[in-house]
């Protein structure tokens, strides 16, 4: 056999052709690849452009819906809805109540807004009343301000403990016995640093949160007493009195007159009598000792022996007989310097003051004669 005849023969220019063809084919493939990639890129850019256009539109729609839901109002009309937030209640449960009662109509928006602002973590317990138009925004603002229902309670000057208890019971829907019992609770009195409750429940207008307990109301009133009187005490009290004795005297002054200009005169009468070792002979203490009366005192009342009868017992009563106002406390601290030892009501809302018993009896006769002449 001829080995050279069996082998294929390649001329030199054929190698060049193969190289050229290979390069061309590779170039075509590369062009096709680049073209494919460009097409994909262009298509991707079109999709990106579409996304870039669609995304803001979508976000705008979502923002519009959230804004609408946040500010949209639900009108309750004349209907009033009360939502009670118990201590430790979850914000979600409160929102469920609002939805169920028809106060708002977007659970998700209110919950998310409360979460963003931290209101859901510091929700104040109490009663929230809703009426008229309400939105998620207005409801959230109510929760942020802790705008709970507060009940106005006015305690007038000269109110006794049982009158205070009756007022609190009527206004706060609690048991008056719960207030009275605190006066006998030595542990509670010690915690408040009080000798008793009578006289230390400052007469003022209060706004108690709905659901306030008896002890909470009493504590706030006692705190008001301290706040109003802390700065008025002089270094030396008249007649060597203690602060508690001043409050006792002030309560008697409060019960005797409502005329501001007379308070220092009434206080001077009782201060003079105490200095002279005389009994006070104060009708209001007798009335208090008899449990309060809805009629004038009679002679038999003055003869009934009880610790508060200052016709029978010298000195101040065992406790204050009411809640004196600041004017009466100041009058007890700084009575007018007089020689008056007596006074009598003049039937016009004021009093006549006298130095001696003879002057006092004459004033009583003149007042009686004037009253008879006016009939």
Residue 16 lies in a domain: no
Of 190, 205, 229, which residue constitutes the final position of a domain? 229
Helix axes 136-144, 12-71, angle to 10 degrees: 70
pLDDT tens per residue across span 295-344: 889 999 999 999 999 999 999 999 999 999 999 999 999 999 999 999 99
pLDDT at 45: 52
Q: Let me know whether 246 and 316 are in one domain.
A: yes
Q: Let me know whether 223 and 294 are in one domain.
A: no
pLDDT tens per residue across span 271-286: 999 999 999 999 999 9
Q: Let me know whether 279 and 318 are in one domain.
A: yes
CB-based contact 129:82 (threshold 8 Å): yes
Residue 126, helix vs strand vs coil: strand
Residue 122 lies in a domain: yes
CB-based contact 76:132 (threshold 8 Å): yes
Residue 305 lies in a domain: yes
Taken as a whole, the chain contains a residue count of 375
For 17, the token pair is: 């052709």
Count of structural domains within the chain: 4
Q: Let me know whether 217 and 248 are in one domain.
A: no
Q: What is the pTM of this model?
A: 0.77
Residues of the chain with pLDDT under 50: 1-21, 23-25, 31, 51-52
Residue 323 lies in a domain: yes
Of 144, 166, 201, which residue constitutes the final position of a domain? 144
128 DSSP β-pair partners: 83
**Cα 188 to Cα 184: distance, rounded to the nearest angstrom:** 9
Q: Let me know whether 174 and 219 are in one domain.
A: yes
Of 90, 113, 144, which residue constitutes the final position of a domain? 144
Residue 248 lies in a domain: yes
Residue 374 lies in a domain: no
Residue 119 lies in a domain: yes
- Domain span at residue 101 reads 72-144
pLDDT at 23: 46
Q: Let me know whether 136 and 204 are in one domain.
A: no
Q: What is the DSSP letter of 355?
A: S
CB-based contact 175:213 (threshold 8 Å): no
Q: Let me know whether 242 and 334 are in one domain.
A: yes
pLDDT at 15: 39
């Amino acid at each position: 056999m001829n080995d050279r005849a069996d082998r294929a023969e390649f001329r030199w220019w054929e190698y060049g052709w193969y190289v050229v063809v290979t390069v061309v084919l590779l170039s075509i493939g590369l062009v096709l690849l680049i073209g494919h990639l460009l097409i994909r890129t262009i298509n991707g850019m079109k999709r990106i452009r579409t996304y870039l256009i669609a995304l803001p539109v979508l976000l705008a729609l979502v923002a519009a819906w959230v804004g609408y839901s946040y500010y949209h109002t639900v009108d309750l009309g004349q209907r009033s809805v009360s939502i009670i937030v118990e201590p430790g209640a979850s914000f979600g449960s409160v929102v469920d109540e609002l939805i169920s009662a028809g106060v708002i109509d977007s659970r998700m928006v209110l919950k998310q807004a409360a979460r963003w602002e931290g209101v859901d973590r510091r929700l104040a317990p109490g009663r929230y009343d809703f009426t008229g138009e309400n939105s998620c925004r207005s409801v959230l603002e109510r929760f942020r301000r802790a705008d709970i229902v507060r009940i106005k309670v006015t305690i007038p000057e000269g109110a006794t403990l049982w009158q205070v208890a009756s007022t609190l019971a009527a206004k706060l829907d609690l048991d008056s016995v719960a207030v009275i019992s605190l006066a006998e609770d030595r542990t509670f009195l010690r915690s408040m640093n009080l000798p008793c409750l009578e006289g230390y429940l400052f007469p003022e207008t209060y706004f108690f949160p709905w659901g306030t307990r008896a002890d909470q109301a009493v504590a706030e009133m006692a705190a008001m007493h301290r706040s109003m009187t802390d700065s008025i005490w002089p270094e030396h009290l008249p007649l060597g009195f203690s602060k508690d004795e001043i409050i006792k005297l002030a309560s008697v002054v409060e019960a005797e007159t409502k005329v501001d200009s007379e308070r220092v005169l009434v206080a001077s009468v009782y201060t003079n009598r105490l200095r002279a070792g005389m009994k006070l002979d104060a009708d209001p203490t007798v009335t208090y000792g008899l449990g309060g009366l809805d009629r004038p005192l009679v002679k038999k009342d003055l003869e009934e022996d009880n610790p508060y009868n200052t016709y029978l017992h010298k000195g101040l009563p065992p406790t204050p007989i009411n809640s004196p106002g600041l004017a009466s406390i100041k009058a007890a601290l700084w009575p007018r310097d007089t020689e008056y030892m007596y006074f009598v009501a003049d039937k016009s809302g004021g009093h006549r003051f006298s130095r001696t018993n003879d002057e006092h009896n004459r004033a009583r006769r003149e007042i009686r004669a004037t009253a008879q002449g006016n009939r």
